[in-house]
Amino acid sequence: MRRKWVGGNWKLNGSRAMASALAGAIVDADIGSTVDVALFPPFPYLREVCAACAGSRIVVGGQDSSQHEAGAFTGEVSAAMLRDVGCATVLAGHSERRQFHQESNELVAAKVAQALAHGLTPVLCVGETLEQHEAGATAAVVGNQLAAVMERCGIAAFGHIVIAYEPVWAIGTGRCATPQQAQDVHALLRSQLARDDATIAGSTRIVYGGSVKPGNAAELFAEADIDGGLIGGAALQATDFVSICAAAG
């Protein structure tokens, strides 16, 4: 039985005061006993959120990290730095990075490898655009996104990776995938892993993201291959996020 996982991706939102208050309220709700919970604040607020989560079961992560170890890469944040400030995890290949920062499958794979090398749990985000969805290309698109990481990192790495399926057309749109739509893609991703190693495929968490709210979380998480969620908008309200975590627990 895979333990469920719920992440809160705050994206480009908040302030120092809001980060402390939101993380504090989530920690106070004491939700980590039956579900793994991770918070992904903007980089400048990692310090506040790590402090709020210290001693709790909630882990903290970066929203992105560099494929480079160190050096002349202005604006980048390394996996080692994230570890250094107390992060345990990091998002890789979020669709907003792929879309607005032209991150390729190969670059995302390099970022996953670098995060793993520094002991972070990468959350590999995959998902198709609306155009690709309507063209019937979902399986090919997410399959290629996953294959690039399998090739670069090897199947054993998936013992330390969380996969997040986030259809781009569902992110921030209020148009959530149906449980069946998401389940079908999750099953496809799991079978792709299983072709290399059925045991690892059976234990890898594959979570869904895209307009998850307190009202639709339980039915999504009830699907056989949906192991939790990566939450955007609803992660900015402690009560909504906590209730989504409760639906996973």
- The residues binding ligand 13P (CB under 6 A) are 9, 94, 166, 171-172, 209-212, 230-234
Q: Of the listed 48, 96, 103, 166, which one is catalytic?
A: 166
Give least dist CB 27 to ligand 13P, A.
20
Indicate the residue among 201 and 226 with the shorter CB distance to ligand 13P. Answer: 226
Cα angle at 71 between 67 and 76, to 5 degrees? 50
Do the beta carbons of residue 4 and residue 36 sit within 8 Å? yes
Minimum CB separation of residue 69 from ligand 13P in Å reads 26
- Annotated active-site residue 94? The verdict is yes
- Within a 10 A sphere around the Cβ of 41, how many other Cβ atoms? 29
Question: Which of 94, 96, 128, 223 is an active site residue?
Answer: 94
Q: Single out the residue of 48, 56, 54 nearest to residue 15, CA to CA.
A: 48
Please, where are the H alpha helices in the chain? Answer: 16-28, 46-53, 79-84, 95-100, 105-117, 130-134, 138-153, 179-194, 198-203, 217-221, 238-248
Residue 219, phi then psi, degrees to nearest 5: -70, -30
Residue whose CB is nearest to ligand 13P in the complex, by number: 232
> How far apart are CB 22 and ligand 13P at their closest, in Å?
15
- Distance, in Å, from the CA atom of 234 to the CA atom of 10, rounded to the nearest integer, reads 9
Question: 53 vs 234, which CB is nearer to ligand 13P?
Answer: 234
Q: How far apart are CB 231 and ligand 13P at their closest, in Å?
A: 5
Which CB atom, from 67 or from 211, has the smaller least distance to ligand 13P?
211
State the nearest-atom distance from the C-beta of 168 to ligand 13P, in Å: 9
Cα(63)–Cα(77) distance, integer angstroms: 10
Distance in Å from the first CA to the final CA of the chain:
13
128 is catalytic: no
Q: Which is nearer to ligand 13P, 164 or 201 (CB)?
A: 164
Between 94 and 190, whose beta carbon lies closer to ligand 13P? Answer: 94
Catalytic residues: 94, 166
